[in-house]
Structure 1
Amino acid sequence: MRIHPRLRRLASVGSRFLIVGAISTLIEIGVFNLLVYALGVDVVWGKIIASLVALINAYIGNREWTFRHRDRRGRVNELVLFGLTNAACTGLGALLLWAGVQAVGAVLERPAGPFAVNIVNLASIAIVVLVRFALYHWLVFRVSGAKR
């Protein structure tokens, strides 16, 4: 069975994106738990700060490895799009975390514990990963018009 070249390229880019994302996720989860459970920061602020810390790894990994073959239309333009995309994704992740923690608390009729909060956090990360890949692929690190 022959795989279509576009599908093969998408799978290659997608797998590199997932590797960079896995490393960024480990950074995000570690910083999140440090902030929330060691330093007592609110879960939403912990989520936002941890996401921003992980974005440093995400930008470097995605620009220099995942999407290195893509158009480099200017670092400032790319950074602005990356920043806006990730501000939206960070906001979405924080909203999903807040809603999930509230829902778990309502179901349990008590505040969600660390295990439940981390499960909700992982679910929010999974949803945001899909949104982030689509935005990186078609907006931030897009193929130049001549290569399409």
Structure 2
Amino acid sequence: MTRDQEGTSHPRPGLFGALVDRFGHLVRELSKFATVGGLAFLVDFALFNYLASGRQMPPLAAKTISTVIAATVAFLGNRFWTWRHRQRSHPAREYALFFFFNAVGLGIAVGCLAVSRYGLGRIWPEVFQTALADNIASFVVGTGLGTLFRFWSYRRFVFVEAGTPPVPETSPDRESGA
């Protein structure tokens, strides 16, 4: 929608304008979600590699710890920036649902890592039991699939759209017979 000098909204002309009018809010949400996710990804990536190589921690434990910390960063960014315009429910409810869906996302990433390292790694250990293979399985495949799931679940269940307020039973229009 475009606004004229009086502030009246008008639909944008053409197919592109119609698409922007219909999906512009979704594109803005997705862009913010991607920015927050990028920051959380960097936290996850750096911590995972630090813990897995510097601390000689097993890859699955390192991934679990790095994901929990990155998820906290993502929760704060999404609650207070990406979906700040949405209705707020009890913070404990949002946080619990956010971490539940992050646990599912973590399961997706850890599952991809486990399939790569322990499934394919048994067949080709020189290829799939390397730091590069762990990073590709975890951060490219696992994070990609997990991100799609998380965007959908946060938008649908965690940061819910504000509902339309109910119409009162007695309104001036009903009393006047209009």
Tell me the TM-score normalised to structure 1 length: 0.92
1:28-86 per-position Cα deviation (integer Å, ceiling 9, x unaligned): 01000011111011111111110001011101100010000011011111112112111
1:89-108 matches, cutoff 5 A: 89-108=105-124
Q: Which runs of 5+ in 1 are unaligned?
A: none
- Structure 1 vs Structure 2 CA RMSD: 1.6
Which of the numbers 126, 130, 135 marks the counterpart of 1:118?
Answer: 135
Q: Residues 61 and 128 from structure 1, CA distance in 2 versus in 1: closer, same or farther, beyond 3 angstroms?
A: same
Structure 2: distance between partners of 1:85 and 1:116: 25
Structure 1: distance between partners of 2:148 and 2:105: 10
Structure 1: distance between partners of 2:161 and 2:22: 13
| Match of residue 15 from structure 1 | 31
Structure 2: distance between partners of 1:109 and 1:66: 41
Matched, 1:50 2:61: no
Is this contact kept in 1: 2:71–2:99, CA < 8 A? no
Matched, 1:137 2:155: yes
Is this contact kept in 1: 2:105–2:149, CA < 8 A? yes
Superposed displacement of residue 107, structure 1: 4.2
Q: Rg bigger for which structure?
A: 2
| Match of residue 27 from structure 1 | 43
Matched, 1:68 2:75: no
Question: What is the percentage of aligned positions where both structures have the same residue?
Answer: 28
